[in-house]
Amino acid sequence: MPRRVAARSGMALILTLAAIVLAAGLALFLQARAVALSRAEQSELLRDRLRLAAAEAAREALWTLASDEDLQVDHLGEDWASPRETAGEDGLSTWALVEDAGRFFNWNNLSVSNRATRAPRDILLDLMTFCGDFTPVVRVDALEDFVDADGEGSYEADFYRIGETPFQPPNRGLWAPAELLRVHAFSADLFRPRPRSGPDDLFGGDLAASTVAVPMALEAPIPVNVNTAGRDVLMGVTGLQQEAAVRAVLALRQVQPFESLAMMFMASPELAAALEGSVGTASSCFRVRARAAMGDVHRSVLAWVERDAKSGDIRILQWVEEGG
Ligand SMILES: [Ca+2]
Ligand SMILES: [Ca+2]
């Protein structure tokens, strides 16, 4: 029956054609999938490579910090304080920077007190005023209760139990500056850079650039380092009446870093007395930021470390990796 054979042949042909089309489609699909997979694998490999390169850049920067020959004095002219950059032929670049905590005011200083002439809260009140916040008292009170160990105060557990999202204040130091936004009366606006009307603008300080949250339990406030702190921080620590003294400190340390507080006492007895217990000439906590990039992919590391004042040994307090 030729017709049936013909029909079968036709059917067979259609099936064969369909199979070929399907096979071709499958091959294309598999090929596309293989390319996609290998791209994913490649970018995974690149991210891993950048993560390692960023960690390595941070490690090298910390190595320089540990090799600091003078642990009694820390200033911006020392090797560890310079940013480090590398650029490989394959397009992989790294960058790392070590900064001492003494360059900034540590928010967590509010969790402890000492017998300093200027209490951490007084310093913070002046620093915030200097940064253009003219009603800092409520914020400083709230932060103090947030980070201090006890539960006595106006802004403790009872205060946060009401409201839309009740929570328990931690009664410990902040682990990251972002935690500040949970503290009553703090908002992101406080940390936005503001235009400064001039170099002598008395209320033009930059709060975000002047403060850190050192993730470490404290026995005493971390002192501000007179050799590394910027003008804004020094203005806060000395109080707003001491502008001339701050200018003198900045000028003197340009010539030679302060090797001891006695040296600062000779330069300005009044200032040295006002700052007793709040400042130092060396630092023990440091922040390292490192980044590795290739094209538009990067990985970064932010770490906090503590350096032993005698041996120079470095202990990692916090290590955070990020990437994009
Ligand atoms: Ca040093
Ligand atoms: Ca508390």
CATH number at residue 94: 3.30.1300.30
Q: pLDDT at position 313, please?
A: 93
Looking at the structure, tell me whether residues 250 and 300 fall in a common domain: no
Contact 270, 283 (CB under 8 A): no
Query: What are the strands, taking DSSP E only, across the chain?
Result: 84-87, 93-100, 105-106, 211-212, 224-225, 279-280, 285-294, 297-307, 314-323
* Selection from 211, 216, 192, 193 nearest residue 99 by Cα: 211
Looking at the structure, tell me whether residues 227 and 121 fall in a common domain: yes
Distance (angstroms) between ligand 1 centre and the Cα of 97 equals 15
Give the number of other Cβ atoms within 10 Å of residue 90's Cβ. Answer: 8
Distance (angstroms) between ligand 1 centre and the Cα of 184 equals 38
Six token digits for residue 138: 């409520």
Q: pLDDT at position 15, please?
A: 57
Contact 148, 111 (CB under 8 A): yes
237-249: b or e for each residue (b if 16 or more CB lie within 10 Å)? bbbeebeebbeeb
169-183: b or e for each residue (b if 16 or more CB lie within 10 Å)? beeebbbeeebbeeb
Q: Is 68 helix (H, G, I), strand (E, B) or coil?
A: coil
Looking at the structure, tell me whether residues 319 and 274 fall in a common domain: no
Task: Name the strand (E) or helix (H) holding 42.
Answer: helix 2-66
Six token digits for residue 112: 């402890």
Q: Is 99 helix (H, G, I), strand (E, B) or coil?
A: strand
Give the number of other Cβ atoms within 10 Å of residue 205's Cβ. Answer: 24
CATH number at residue 151: 1.10.40.60
Positions of the chain with pLDDT under 50? 1-2, 5, 7-8
Looking at the structure, tell me whether residues 236 and 206 fall in a common domain: yes
Distance (angstroms) between ligand 2 centre and the Cα of 104 equals 23
Q: Which residues share a beta bridge with 300?
A: 291, 322
Looking at the structure, tell me whether residues 70 and 116 fall in a common domain: no
Q: pLDDT at position 1, please?
A: 46
Looking at the structure, tell me whether residues 126 and 75 fall in a common domain: no
Q: Which ligand is nearest to the CA of 283?
A: 1
Q: Which ligand is nearest to the CA of 81?
A: 1
Q: Count of domains in the chain? A: 2
Distance (angstroms) between ligand 2 centre and the Cα of 151 equals 4
Six token digits for residue 285: 């906590």
Distance (angstroms) between ligand 2 centre and the Cα of 317 equals 23
Q: pLDDT at position 11, please?
A: 54
Six token digits for residue 50: 């950048």
Looking at the structure, tell me whether residues 73 and 86 fall in a common domain: yes
Q: Determine the structural domain holding residue 118 and report its residue range.
A: 106-280
Looking at the structure, tell me whether residues 37 and 12 fall in a common domain: yes
Q: Which ligand is nearest to the CA of 158?
A: 2
Distance (angstroms) between ligand 1 centre and the Cα of 69 equals 6
Six token digits for residue 175: 């682990």
Looking at the structure, tell me whether residues 119 and 228 fall in a common domain: yes
Looking at the structure, tell me whether residues 64 and 133 fall in a common domain: no
Q: What pTM, to 2 d.p., does this model score? A: 0.86
Looking at the structure, tell me whether residues 92 and 172 fall in a common domain: no
Q: Is 186 helix (H, G, I), strand (E, B) or coil?
A: coil
Where residue 52 falls (left for φ over 0; alpha for ψ -120 to 50; beta otherwise) is: alpha
* Selection from 148, 194, 193 nearest residue 169 by Cα: 148
Looking at the structure, tell me whether residues 239 and 317 fall in a common domain: no
